[in-house]
Structure 1
Amino acid sequence: MKARLGVIGGSGLYDLPGLEDRREEMVQTPWGQPSAALRFGRIGTTELVFLPRHGEGHRLSPDGINYRANIDALKRVGVTDIVSFSAVGSYKEDLAPGVFVVPDQLVDRTFSRESSFFGNGCVAHVAFGDPFGPRLSRRVAEAARRAGITIREGGTAVCMEGPQFSTRAESLFYKGLGYDIIGMTSMPEAKLAREAEITYSMCAMVTDFDCWHPDHANVSVELVIHQVHENTLAARRVLAELAADFPAEREECPVGSHRALDFAIITAPEARDPVLVAKLDAVAGRVLR
């Protein structure tokens, strides 16, 4: 299967200048409208599809993003691998603003978001013990190093509901549990990508120390925006390096994300809701047809 790289841009990363053969398309999905038109292009011989997670002008709050529409739209246009760029806070002294992190674990603390394509009428339980594709994550880390960026491989990211930043008690609690970084958008994005059999990796860009650190100011938009600009320039360098060495054919994912639905759907064929099944045409058509 031909590989197609999808890039989801977080805070500050709203466009990818320099894409060749660029075009835009608003892809319609049965789950509603994605955050923005998809932007197609290539870097060298690697085809990319870019989607700004928060929409034009950062109009969408983390809890107001239509994550299902975003992932469905990317699946419909043939995306096989997603690299998600996200601004995050840090719980570790050595993960200072400007450092990038490619985590290997994820904790979901969101509570008001649609977190699955499946439900009553077509129930599926998808394995998610390893939420990120390790081979793709390794490629991202290697690309960052070639771009001269300090990056940490591994670690646990926690996704909070937002849009408010953490209280100090929450920040100290998560730090005490040993988590490494915190953001607001990796869930349910990562879960939905797994359900759609898209390999997913998170490139987290540290902007602040949240509010646990006694020697740094509490996190604020002003503080974040200052660091976001520097991180955005670095993220573009990472993508250039990643695209230069990205495989033409899809690689099998060591944790099975490329065939996540093989044994996941538990509802008997005769009991499936035809309306829901129709909505799942792009996400799960491979196993439902």
Structure 2
Amino acid sequence: MTKIGIIGGSGLYEIEGFEFIEELSVSTEYGQPSDSYRYFKYGNLELYFLNRHGRNHSYPPHLVNYRANIDGFFQIGVKGIFSFTATGGINNSYRPGDIIIPDNGIDFTNGRMHTYFEENNVHHIDFTEPFCPDLRRIMFESAERANVPVCRTGTYLCTNGPRLETAAEIRAFDRMGADLVGMTLFPECSLAREKEICYTNISVITNFAAGTSPQKLTSDEVVAEMQKAGDKLKRLMRNLPASYTDERTCGCVTALQGTKISK
């Protein structure tokens, strides 16, 4: 059976038809992952769910152990990761509740551990396309089968958090070409590439970004919108087996070829 990873909140675990098998605790040389990996079977898939922020939302975005989380998936043998995130809408065509499958990203984080490769083992991976085109296509097909409308393009700008952005920052991000803003895409996506794991992101617009709405931004509205979007996200997940294939035309699985510079 094919092993795939799912990163998101606890609401994604409770999907009708998914057979819960066990919880797996994985230790890594980079520390402990945010939570145990919950193993389910569904159709022809083995699904390993990880709560990015921990079971009780213990870890803010800048303190998530992204290296341990991705290495845990690698140890389990996961070949592809679908990452679900809550984001603010910068693009004025977005509305809360919209689902975006971004096609690019901008990293505005700092102080996070961004690579597995350090002294005497330096690699520079190509990151022209941060998301796996094959997994994006699979998610598009799942969305069509589930009759869930999704936006197929968008640039996700990742800030450090945990504070929300200022109105001036959002105006600057807009001029840079960012369409949505969140706090968890990097270095999660680039670490997956370093492990040669296919990765794509599915973002829910939970609020208008700062300065684009007269309303004050609150965490309550983020949680509420994610809960409202839960049914659509579960429908996407239930349609994965009909679309998922092990066949890969992407470069993710050979991402390290020719990248080592310390020879």
Q: Identify whether the pair has TM-score above 0.5, normalized to the shorter chain.
A: yes
Question: What CA distance in whole angstroms lies between the structure 2 residues aligned with 1:219 and 1:21?
Answer: 36
Question: What CA distance in whole angstroms lies between the structure 2 residues aligned with 1:244 and 1:42?
Answer: 14
- In the TM superposition, residue 80 of structure 1 has moved relative to its aligned partner by 0.5
State how 1:1-289 maps to structure 2 within 5 Å: 3-10=2-9, 13=11, 15-18=13-16, 19-214=18-213, 216-247=214-245, 250-254=246-250, 256-268=251-263
- In the TM superposition, residue 155 of structure 1 has moved relative to its aligned partner by 1.5
Question: What CA distance in whole angstroms lies between the structure 2 residues aligned with 1:142 and 1:232?
Answer: 19
- In the TM superposition, residue 22 of structure 1 has moved relative to its aligned partner by 1.8
- In the TM superposition, residue 50 of structure 1 has moved relative to its aligned partner by 0.8
AA matched with 1:267? S
- After superposition, what is the alpha-carbon deviation per residue over 1:161-219, rounded to whole angstroms, capped at 9, x for unaligned? 000000010011112222111110000000100000001100011101111324x4132
- The share of aligned pairs that are identical, in percent, is 34
The answer on whether the counterparts of 2:12 and 2:233 sit within 8 Å (CA) in structure 1 is no
AA matched with 2:247? E
For 2:106, what is the secondary structure of its paired residue?
A: strand
- Comparing 54-63 with 18-27, greater Cα deviation is found at 18-27
For 1:152, what is the secondary structure of its paired residue?
A: coil
AA matched with 1:257? C
The answer on whether the counterparts of 1:14 and 1:56 sit within 8 Å (CA) in structure 2 is no
- After superposition, what is the alpha-carbon deviation per residue over 1:122-145, rounded to whole angstroms, capped at 9, x for unaligned? 111111111001121121122123
For 2:239, what is the secondary structure of its paired residue?
A: helix
- In the TM superposition, residue 147 of structure 1 has moved relative to its aligned partner by 2.0
Alpha carbons of 1:71 and 1:117: their partners in 2 closer, same or farther (altered >3 Å)?
same
For 1:71, what is the secondary structure of its paired residue?
A: helix
The answer on whether the counterparts of 1:198 and 1:257 sit within 8 Å (CA) in structure 2 is yes
TM-score by length of 2: 0.95
Alpha carbons of 1:187 and 1:224: their partners in 2 closer, same or farther (altered >3 Å)?
same
What is the aligned-residue RMSD (CA, Å)?
1.5
Bigger radius of gyration among the two:
1
For 1:116, what is the secondary structure of its paired residue?
A: coil
For 1:153, what is the secondary structure of its paired residue?
A: coil
- In the TM superposition, residue 245 of structure 1 has moved relative to its aligned partner by 2.5
Question: What CA distance in whole angstroms lies between the structure 2 residues aligned with 1:220 and 1:135?
Answer: 35
Q: Which runs of 5+ in 2 are unaligned?
A: none
The answer on whether the counterparts of 1:68 and 1:192 sit within 8 Å (CA) in structure 2 is yes
AA matched with 2:223? I
The answer on whether the counterparts of 2:5 and 2:81 sit within 8 Å (CA) in structure 1 is yes
Question: What CA distance in whole angstroms lies between the structure 2 residues aligned with 1:232 and 1:116?
Answer: 32
Question: What CA distance in whole angstroms lies between the structure 2 residues aligned with 1:209 and 1:32?
Answer: 35
For 1:85, what is the secondary structure of its paired residue?
A: strand
The answer on whether the counterparts of 1:110 and 1:187 sit within 8 Å (CA) in structure 2 is yes
The answer on whether the counterparts of 1:9 and 1:15 sit within 8 Å (CA) in structure 2 is no
AA matched with 2:145? R
The answer on whether the counterparts of 1:139 and 1:242 sit within 8 Å (CA) in structure 2 is yes
The answer on whether the counterparts of 1:4 and 1:81 sit within 8 Å (CA) in structure 2 is yes
AA matched with 2:256? L
Question: What CA distance in whole angstroms lies between the structure 2 residues aligned with 1:14 and 1:100?
Answer: 15
For 2:181, what is the secondary structure of its paired residue?
A: strand
Question: What CA distance in whole angstroms lies between the structure 1 residues aligned with 2:143 and 2:89?
Answer: 19
Aligned residues: 262
- In the TM superposition, residue 9 of structure 1 has moved relative to its aligned partner by 0.7
Q: Which runs of 5+ in 1 are unaligned?
A: 269-289
Question: What CA distance in whole angstroms lies between the structure 2 residues aligned with 1:219 and 1:129?
Answer: 32
The answer on whether the counterparts of 2:12 and 2:234 sit within 8 Å (CA) in structure 1 is no
- Comparing 232-241 with 58-67, greater Cα deviation is found at 232-241
- Comparing 237-246 with 106-115, greater Cα deviation is found at 237-246
The answer on whether the counterparts of 1:46 and 1:244 sit within 8 Å (CA) in structure 2 is no
